[in-house]
Chains A and B, each alone.
Chain A
Amino acid sequence: MSDDVFVHETAEGSQELRERAATPPAELQREVGSVLRLPEGHYVDVADLDVERPDDETMIINMGPQHPSTHGVLRLMMELDGETVLRTKPIIGYLHTGMEKTGEELTYQQGGTNVTRMDYLSPLNNELVFSLATEALLGIEIPPRAVWIRMLLSELQRVSSHLMWTATNGMDVGSTTMMIFGFREREMLLGFFEKATGLRMNHNFIRPGGTAADLPDGWEDDVDLICENVTLRLDDYDELLTGQPIFRERMEGVGALSAEEAMALSATGPILRSTGIPWDLRRTMPYLAYDQVDFDVIIGTYGDNFDRYAIRLNEIRESIKIIRQVLERMPAGDYRVQDKKVTPPPRARIDESMEALIHHFKVFTEGYKVPEGEVYAAVESPRGELGCYLVSDGSAKPYRLHVRAPSFVNLQSLPVMLRGGLMADAVATISSVDPVMGEVDR
Chain B
Amino acid sequence: MGARAPRGRAPGDAEVSGDLPVVTLPPEGVVTAASAGQEIVLPARDRYHDVVAAYRDGGYELLSDLCAVDYLAHPPRALPGGVAPERFEVVATLVSPADRRRVRVRVQVPEDDAAVDSLFDLFPGCEAMEREAFDMFGIRFRGHPDLTRILMPDDWEGFPLRKDYGVGRVPVQFKEAPGPR
| CB pair A101 B160 closer than 8 Å | yes
- Whether B100 lies near A284 (C-beta < 8 A) is yes
B145 at interface (Cβ–Cβ under 8 A)? yes
Give a binary string over B1-30; 1 marks a CB under 8 Å from any A CB, 0 the rest. Answer: 111111111111000100000000000000
- Docked-complex contact A301 and B10, CB < 8 angstroms: yes
7 other A-B residue contacts (CB within 8 Å) besides A253-B1, A404-B93: A2-B113, A34-B124, A35-B125, A258-B6, A258-B7, A302-B4, A412-B124
- How far is the CB of A266 from the nearest CB of chain B, in Å? 3
A179 close to chain B: CB less than 8 A: no
Interface residues on B, range: 35 or more
Docked CA distance A37–B16 (Å): 14
CB pair A376–B93 under 8 Å, yes or no, is yes
Given the complex of chains A and B, what is the CA–CA distance between A411 and B125 in angstroms? Answer: 10
What 1/0 mask marks residues of chain A from 286 to 322 whose CB sits below 8 Å from any chain B CB? Answer: 0000000000000101111010000000000000000
Interface members, chain A 387-406 (any B CB < 8 Å): 387, 389, 391, 393-394, 399-400, 402, 404
- Min CB distance, B55 to chain A, in Å? 14
Taken together as a complex, chains A and B put the C-alpha atoms of A100 and B135 apart, in Å, by 13
Q: How far is the CA of A261 from the CA of B123 in the complex (A)?
A: 10
User: Beyond A29-B145, A375-B38, A376-B102, is A13–B154 a contact (Cβ under 8 Å)?
Assistant: yes
The 3 closest A-B pairs by CB, nearest first: A266-B125, A276-B11, A258-B8
Select which of A37, A93, A285 is within 8 A of B150 by beta carbon. Answer: A93
A118 at the interface (CB under 8 A from B): no
Docked-complex contact B161 and A100, CB < 8 angstroms = yes
**Neighbouring B residues of A442 by C-beta, 8 Å:** 151
Cross-chain contact A304 with B4 (CB below 8 angstroms): yes
Known: A260-B9, A404-B65. A92 touches B151 (CB 8 A): yes
A26 at the binding interface (Cβ < 8 Å): yes
Find the A residue at minimum CB distance from B162.
A101
| Segment at the B interface, from A3-11, A167-175, A355-363 | A3-11
Of A2, A26, A408, the contact of B115 (CB 8 Å cutoff): A2
On chain A, the residues within 8 Å of B37 by CB distance are 136
B36 within 8 A of A: yes
Assembled-state Cα–Cα distance A105/B64 (Å): 26
The verdict on A434 contacting chain B, using a C-beta distance below 8 Å, is no
Q: With A265-B124, A393-B75 known to touch, is A10 a contact of B156 (CB < 8 Å)?
A: yes
Chain A residues closer than 8 Å to B36, beta-carbon distance:
136-137, 139, 373-375
Q: B46: CB under 8 A from chain A? A: no
Within 8 Å CB of A402, what residues of B?
65, 67, 69
Give residues 403-417 of A contacting B (CB, 8 Å). 404, 408-409, 411-412
A422 at the interface (CB under 8 A from B): yes
- A7→B155 contact, CB < 8 A: no
Classify the interface of chain B: helix, strand, loop or mixed.
loop
Q: Is the CB of A376 within 8 A of B104?
A: yes
Interface assignment of A275: CB less than 8 Å from any CB of chain B: yes
Smallest CB gap from A9: residue in B:
B148
Residues of A contacting B: mostly: loop
Contacts of A12 on B, CB cut-off 8 Å?
A: 154-155
CB closest residue in chain A, given B128: A412
Which of A35, A137, A376, A394 is in CB contact (< 8 Å) with B124?
Answer: A35
A73 beta carbon closer than 8 Å to chain B = no
Q: List A contacts of B77 (CB < 8 A).
A: 372
CB-defined contacts of A385 to chain B, threshold 8 Å: 64
A260, B152: Cβ atoms under 8 Å? no
Q: Assess whether A231 is interfacial by the CB under 8 Å rule.
A: no
Asked if B63 CB lies within 8 Å of chain A CBs, one says: yes
- Mask of B125-148 contacts with A, CB within 8 angstroms, 1/0: 111110010101000101111111
Residues of A within 8 A of B91 (CB): 374, 389
**Bound-complex Cα distance A352 to B122 (A):** 62
Which residues of chain A have C-beta atoms less than 8 A from B181's C-beta?
Answer: none
B180 contacts which chain A residues (CB < 8 A)? none
A301 & B6 in contact (Cβ 8 Å cutoff)? yes
Taking the complex as formed, is A39 at the interface, i.e. its CB lies under 8 A from any CB of chain B? yes
Smallest CB–CB gap between B11 and chain A, Å? 3
Q: Is B49 an interface residue (CB 8 A)?
A: no
Contact, CB under 8 Å: B154 / A441: no
A263 at the interface (CB under 8 A from B): yes
- Determine whether B62 belongs to the interface, using a CB cutoff of 8 Å to chain A: yes
Residues of A within 8 A of B6 (CB): 256, 258, 276, 301-303
**Could you say which residues of chain B place their CB within 8 Å of the CB of A400?**
69-70, 161
Contact assessment for A93 and B153 in the assembled complex, using a CB-CB cutoff below 8 Å:
yes
B150 A373 Cβ-Cβ under 8 A: no
Within residues 35 to 73 of chain B, which ones have a CB less than 8 A from any CB in chain A? 35-38, 61-65, 67, 69-70, 73
